[in-house]
Homo-oligomer: A and B are copies of this chain.
């Protein structure tokens, strides 16, 4: 049984079709904690129902997983050979225009929330929106409230200006839970050098995505190419600002991808993606070397081969997320508004 000081393996984002099989894979891959997306465009009540469904999963798989709200919970999961699941949202739809729902969502276990998802939200512009208005006035207030409450501001899918605005304003470390740097592969979702620099200054963390559309050469991206990119990234922003946010979505049908992009309802022909070369919405195959949660050791091996020390590799594989959670998830007084 590992001691409480064993290095943690943590994945900064997944949206799998959750099942006992996925949890068994996570155990096989030695994954101690996963930030799981439990809502995109869902209303508040729909998110509550998603939590109800999760509670059923937790009850049925209590030998494999537990619901984590703190770093202590994650260490408890590790000590009992289980995987800790942290809840997060990939858009702010569940707020339903009401910032008063932020502490309510915290009470329900939400620990991450994106300000926007590709398009304009009430809080911020998204990375594929036509006009980039950055952070809105309500978005400024939302960040203050998320900082106060202890919900991580997640800038994945936000626009360039929204990232820079939020990084200036957030008083707690900010995460980009799942993305890749644009110096390696340029997509609307990639993180610019400017945002990387601001993220470093903020004490924030970039979780590196292994979603094929994000990867250079997509499904054919080699482990060496990915791990060399990690080395170049660490040269720029330091070893402490880099983690994994695999964006594993395995088991999800393609209809889910269309829904992610279109929101609750918009015209099907407009996904809000830039560029005519954009592939139709279907999930691409994962690279052969990173198929699912069982491949975390292979990723770790690749990082070692790319020249990282054991200690550095442990930081990237989860210890950085652990340190981040220590600062980001500590709950502050919830009564002072």
Using a CB–CB cutoff of 8 Å, the interface residues on chain A facing chain B are 41, 43, 93, 96-101, 119-122, 125, 128-139, 141, 144, 161, 263-267, 270, 272, 337
Q: Report yes or no: B98 in contact with A141, Cβ–Cβ below 8 A.
A: no
Q: Is the CB of B93 within 8 A of A141?
A: no
* A136 with B119, Cβ < 8 A, contacts A264-B96, A266-B141 known: yes
Q: With CB as the reference atom, state the residue of chain B lying closest to A128.
A: B137
Nearest B residue to A134 via CB reads B131
B119:A138 contact, CB within 8 angstroms: yes
Given A97-B93, A265-B98, check contact A129 B136 (CB 8 Å). yes
- Flag if A272 contacts B137 (CB, 8 Å): yes
Question: How far in angstroms is the closest Cβ of chain B from A6?
Answer: 43
The answer to whether A141 touches B43, judged by C-beta atoms less than 8 angstroms apart, is no
A41-B97, A99-B265, A264-B98 are contacts. A137–B130 as well, Cβ < 8 Å?
yes
Could you say which residues of chain B place their CB within 8 Å of the CB of A141?
266-267, 270
Decide: A132 and B133 in contact? CB cutoff 8 A: yes
CB distance from A126 to the nearest CB of B (A): 9
Chain B proximity of A195: nearest CB distance (Å)? 17
Do the beta carbons of A131 and B133 come within 8 Å of each other? yes
Q: Using known A-B contacts A97-B41, A265-B99, determine if residue A133 contacts B125 with beta carbons closer than 8 Å.
A: yes
Residues of the B chain whose Cβ atoms lie less than 8 Å from the Cβ of A96: 43, 96, 264
Excluding A120-B120, A120-B136, 20 further A-B contacts by CB distance (< 8 Å) are: A43-B96, A93-B97, A96-B96, A97-B264, A98-B265, A99-B266, A101-B265, A119-B136, A120-B122, A120-B133, A121-B122, A122-B122, A128-B137, A129-B136, A129-B137, A130-B136, A131-B136, A137-B270, A138-B263, A138-B272
* 25 A–B contacts, CB within 8 A, in A order: A93-B97, A96-B96, A96-B264, A97-B263, A98-B263, A98-B265, A99-B265, A99-B266, A99-B267, A100-B265, A119-B122, A119-B136, A119-B137, A120-B120, A120-B137, A121-B122, A128-B137, A129-B136, A129-B137, A130-B136, A131-B133, A137-B272, A138-B266, A138-B272, A141-B270
Query: Which B residue's beta carbon lies closest to that of A165?
Result: B131
Contacts of A130 in B (CB 8 A): 136-137
Give bound CA distance, A141 to B120, whole Å: 13
From residue A41, how far is it (CB to closest CB) to chain B in Å? 6
Residue of B nearest to A41 (CB): B97
Point out the residues of chain B lying under 8 angstroms from A161, CB to CB.
131
- Expressed in whole angstroms, the minimum distance between the Cβ of A40 and any Cβ of chain B is 11
Q: Which residue on chain B has the smallest CB distance to residue A132?
A: B133
A284 to chain B, nearest CB (A): 24
Given the complex, which residues of B lie within 8 Å of A144, measured CB to CB?
Answer: 267
Distance of A272 Cα from B137 Cα, bound (Å): 7
CA distance A134 to B129 in the complex (A): 11
Query: Within the assembled complex, what's the spacing in Å between the Cα atoms of A131 and B123?
Result: 12
Give Cα A279 to B227, complex, Å. Answer: 58
Q: How far is the CB of A226 from chain B (nearest CB, A)?
A: 31
